[in-house]
Structure 1
Amino acid sequence: MKFSQKLIFIFLFITTTVLLNIVWQEKIELLKKEKYTAVTQEIQEQTNILVEEKKNATVAIGVSLSFDKTIKEALKKDKAELIKLGELSASLRKNSDFKNVWFHVLTGEGKCFYRSWTDRRGDSVVNNRIDIEEMLKDPKIMTTISIGNYDMTFKVMIPIYDEKNLLGIMEVITHFNSIAKKLVKKGIEPIILADKKYKKQLLYPFTKLFIDDYYVANLNANPEYMDIVEKKTVEHFLTLEKIYNEDKERGNLETLYTVPDIKGNPLGYIILFKPIKEIDMSDIEWMKEEMVYYIVILLILSASIFYYLANRKIISAISSKNRSMKKLNDYLEKALIEEKELQRQQEKERQILFQQSKMAAMGEMIGNIAHQWRQPIAIISMWANNIIADIDMGNIENEQLRKYANSINAQTQHLSQTIDDFRNFFAPNKEKKTFTLKNSIDKTMSLLTASFKTHSIELIENIEEIEITALENELTQGILNIIKNAKDILVTLPRESRKLIFVNVYKQGNRAIIEIKDSGGGIPENIIDKVFEPYFTTKHKSQGTGIGLYMTESIITKHLHGEISVENSEYDYEGKHYKGAVFAISLPINK
């Protein structure tokens, strides 16, 4: 090989390597942007959920106090000293996230009657607050986030009536501190700000903290991140062009959540920081390793070509074979790239299907929660009316009142447990843990009890105490998809037909078997082999997406390393003959 040819070859090798590296770096940068966008959207969603939860909890307190007879009596007699909400405030501070709740009672004319945080009363607040003005025009439950003399707060106003006469307004005021603490627990650092146009209105700022005339509403704001906002200025964050900003120098993702006023205009802002080192970037690291792998292949291939060119006189006899091998290598490399692209597309489609299944399950769960809540709410209403009736008749005693209160508390605990079960079901937990199948199945069925009762569906369980180590939420969703499929079939049966679902769990060797059987008549034999295919459904297209059983099969086989099968079965139960589908799940018992 001539020297000039060697130089050309070396130049081509270096150029190819550099170009390959540039292409790979661009691909890695694109993946990184997609990851940051997804993380930012999740942060925004978590913040919005916390804000809505705080609003709803504040409404619950306000509604309860609007029926308080002592407050009504105080308004009628114009005796504010009758109102004593100090004990309630102390109890909330001790037993809940409400560490600093303020109570404000106004007259029907919009004058202050009672403030829990000051003795000042008698002043009119209508002219300073458009929300009070709106309330007096159209008395109804109103929730807002507003800025007063002290702080940016959540406010709920409830009209207080004496029969049909408006006595006054009950206002409950809560703060942003609990939201900030919950965000910090999730690894997100918030700086909560009120717009600078409200600075003059904040006569007695609760936190006494300001940045660029913007009031800082979270009491324990991290000084490190306050310093970042101060150096960059608040205006920098308010004018972000993208959903997020990457601060490479400090290693943070930055995003902005806007808090609207009653008319939808910006009232305040939550600047959110997420340390980049806490974001899972393992998929991008894998791409970097893959880049090194291809560069090594290119180096080996180039060395082989260089060797060939340098010694082509010696290997001329086998040159034709070398050409064939090179063609084969090119074909295999192309096939490898196509296979990787196909795998990526399949994984993306699986994720889309999984999310569709999750959203369908969430809709089903919301319906189930509505069923679950109807009876406890009716019981709470009944006991509350009993208390009111006994008080009006003068028959109430401490023991009777305690009994009523205990009953109401038991029902509210049931409502709370329903919400906890719902949250746990949709929690994005991808860590394996050891749990008993009985407890997991019981939690799943508790979400369906009311729906079963409504549709006269009987649940017959025979469950052994078996512990397994797996992804519990994934298994729960898989079981729920099968149960929902059975329920959808059973509700179409004639009213006189007995609707049965059997759940049997037992151990077989080193595996746990879960069998779910119904009395729905079975699956037609000509389609039973297709029920696990994506978008295949035995129902009308308007009744579902057809992805539930496909995702169940994917969860059981790919995520839980188990097996699932379905067959039709005829059986006798309590003297009657039935036919239905039997789904069998086999899972490894990994300790």
Structure 2
Amino acid sequence: MKINTNDNIIIFFIKYAPIIFVVLLSLFTTKLVLLEKEEDLKKEVLQMEEDYYNTNKQRIKEEVERIYKFIELEKEKTEELLKASIKKRVYEAHAIASAIYEQEKHKNDDENTFQIIKKALGSIIFNDGRGYIFMDAKDGTSLLQPLNPEFEGKSFLNDIDANGYQFFKTVQKTIENKSERFDSYYWFQGNNTEERFKKISFYKYFEPYDLAIGTGEYIQTFENNLKKKLLDYIKDIRYKNDNYIFVIDFEGNYLAHYNKKFINTNRLNVKNQAGRYLVKDIIEFAKDKKSEYFSYVATLNTDDKARSNKKISYIKAFEPYNWAIGTGFYTEALNKQIEEKRVFITEENNSYVKHILLISCVVTLLLLIISFFISKELEKRLINYKKEIEVKILESKEKDEMMYQQSKMASMGEMIANIAHQWRQPLNQISTISSGIKVQKEYDMFDESKLNDDMEKIINSSNYLSQTIDDFRDFFVPNKTHQNFEISDTIQRTLSLVESQLKNNDIIIVKEIEEFTIKSLENELLQVLINILKNAKEALLERKEFSTKLIIIKTYKNENNAYISIKDNANGIEEEVLANIFTPYFTTKGEKGTGLGLYMSKSILNKNIGGDLKVKNTTFEYKGEKQIGAEFLVTLPLNKE
């Protein structure tokens, strides 16, 4: 077998390309491994950063949330603790009053006994001088006010607090109901008679004098004491790496901080080393975000030296107290960890590179040896494979030619049958007229006046036979030149070749033709259309129960393509048949079919014309009645060169 220039080039590549490839692959692999190690370093650093940030962010969030919950719980308990405290005081005062009354009621009159009770209860002062016991009568008269004796004897029944609440009426109801209850209202604090503060009180009915004994405490004062205890607790909190919790009120005052010199100082308008009003930013951030991470440049104190360093804090606003609570961590430690990791991995890489280069050289040498033997084997196989390919191509061409000849013979058979149908009527007419003239002559019945008419009929029939021959001759004339033609003329030529068979089988042809010109292979398109119409006819003839047999031919176009739709009402094609309808030698007609008509039609359109053929089942209406059938769609390029 002769080897041409292209084959020599291929053989050259087979011999030397693997060697070049192995060398390049070795270099590439080595470089790739090194890049991968570098990428691993980047990934490790990124993962380290992510782990560091996530761990520390989670930790500081948990610390702040824990303190927040602690403050929240303590605040929620404030009112309960306050109520328990004042209730205990009232119960103690009530017990003292009851004991005095029982002791003195037989020794003194009621007035003297009451004065003894009043004096005893008036001396009970608690909560750093803020707390006292009071007594009120049913009509709203204050009977005991140790811190404001000038109120004694005055009626406050109709007085209202800052919110318009008549709290003395609640005292009156307690006496009337002979019960006890808590109450909240706004009242004077100490000697300040101008401003009123929210107060929670507890009243208990004292039956001997039909009055109420009570006491109260101001919530603000109680909460201030609670805040002080909470802040004292927070100041002492230290967790991992000596981190701390800071608290700043919304006015800019530091309430808790590791640096004691900051506590009770206002730093709202103080700039840090980065020139930022940090405290103001933290407060605004807390008010806006409620709880979120906050990044800034802070001062890092190490070895008695202060330097700026990025810090991430978790800030959460405790709105009931107008506090910003937070804690954070510096990124300085992360930078140290990253640098240590980078040095370690760099040293590891240097050692790794030496091993990789050594292994790469050994592997490359082995691959070169293997590549040499493989290339020799490939060269041998290429030559054998080329021989096999040429044999297969030859066989394929012979097969295609055989299939084309089979299709052509089938088409010729169809055309001969069509010619027989087309000629039957005119030949019968010629035979009938000739026989009639002969009979008339034999029986002396010949009428010369009718001879011209009979001859005219014979001539017309002969012309029709001649035209039929021309039509079928044109169909079989091979013409591979693309020419312009009217689509309507092509449809009419197609029908002229098969119309007699369609009419003889009572098949109605409906034409919906849009006039336009295309450039293509007309005769090959005729063969495709005849094959489709033949299949439609055979499908309709199998459905003998139909009174109306339809074939609808429709043409239309868009900017690029022309379309010919041919559909029937033969109930459609079964799905398993539809999937194989364009497969060569596939037929549902048994020995009568070749299985090549539709296969060759699609092949002609695809290979010769540059179009396509598709089929689907469809539903449509004809004269108001629903019809079911198959639709073949021929796609043609408008201008195919």
Find the structure with the greater CA-based Rg: 2
Length-normalised TM-score, structure 2: 0.42
Higher relative CO (CA 8 A, sep ≥ 6), structure 1 or 2?
A: 2
